[in-house]
Structures are given as C-alpha cells and as structure tokens.
Amino acid sequence: MNKFRKIYKKKKFKECPFCVWLKKYKKDVIEETENYYLTINHYPYIRHHLLIAPKAHITRLISEKHLEEKEYLTQQAGKIFLNLGIKDYVVLDRSGAKSGRSLKHVHRHVIPVRGPHDMYYRYAEIEGELDLAGDVRKYRKILNKYQVKDD
Ligand SMILES: [Zn+2]
C-alpha cells in the first residue's frame, strides 16, 4: 500500500466528500457535466488515478441516472491517459458494503495499469509528492486540444 492510501485509511470524513467535492475541491475537477464530475483522486492507488462521481448522493449503482454522462467522462479519462502514453487502464465501479468500497456515495475509478498482469494496482508505490494542481492543469489542457485518432 502506498503512502497516500495509508493516510486515506486513517482519515475520518465528517461529511460525504463526494457531496462537497464541487464546493471544497473545485480546483481538482477536470471536467463536469450536468450530473457528474471527473476529478483526480487525492489518495491514488497509482499515479493519474481518476474518479467519476454523480453530483447527487447516490449509494447504489442501480439508482444512477444519466449514465451517458458517466460514460462520456470515462471516455474523457481515457483520452487523458492515451495522451499521457497510458494505453491500459481499469474502470471500476463498486456497489454495496462487501464490494470493497469505502464510501457509500457511488464513484467510478479509472485506474492506469502499469505493466502486464498488474492486478495489484492498488498497492502501486508513488515516488515523491503529488502535484495535484499541476496534473489537473495538464489534464484540462489535453482535453482542450485532444483529437481522437483511432489505430
Ligand atoms: Zn455523497
């Protein structure tokens, strides 16, 4: 487990972080739609770990609406990765207490995969400190100029 995940494990949230994200961490939001937002994970499993959450406090995947917005932001995350040279990534949704989720508010993980058979992405070490603001600026710039080129 990397140092950021260790900090996260000890953290106690007074309020649902995903409900207050747009107020408290607006600077870390890469892109938002009417009902969802794409943001950087403050406690990443691996470098460039992104999150997509509905703005409403929804606790079950089957209660989500406006899924086309969620899929759109998932595609945007993929564009960011491809532009950073990350061709492989995992898209992860969890629902229910036994799914391994730590927060009830549903959220999608978009996690770069580093190497072959990298099933242990959640334990990836991250060297140095994170430059969240710098990364978010970089991601926004990529999305502003990105041109899709299929293989
Ligand atoms: Zn919430």
For position 134, what pLDDT does the model report?
94
What residues are neighbours of ligand 1 (ion), with CB under 5 Å?
16, 18-19, 57, 105
Ligand 1 centroid to residue 60 C-alpha, Å: 11
pTM equals 0.90
Name the residue among 3, 1, 36, 43 with its Cα closest to residue 128: 3
- Based on C-alpha coordinates, what's the Rg of the chain? 15
Name the residue among 2, 4, 42 with its Cα closest to residue 20: 42
How far apart (Å, rounded) are the C-alpha atoms in residues 48 and 132?
9
Fold annotation for 3-145 = HIT family, subunit A (3.30.428)
Ligand 1 centroid to residue 19 C-alpha, Å: 4
Ligand 1 centroid to residue 54 C-alpha, Å: 9
For position 121, what pLDDT does the model report?
56
DSSP secondary structure, 83-118, as one string: HTT---EEEEE--SGGGT-SSSS--EEEEE--STT-
How far apart (Å, rounded) are the C-alpha atoms in residues 126 and 23?
28
Ligand 1 centroid to residue 20 C-alpha, Å: 7
Q: What is the mean pLDDT of residues 85-106?
A: 91
| All structural domains of the chain with their residue ranges | 3-145
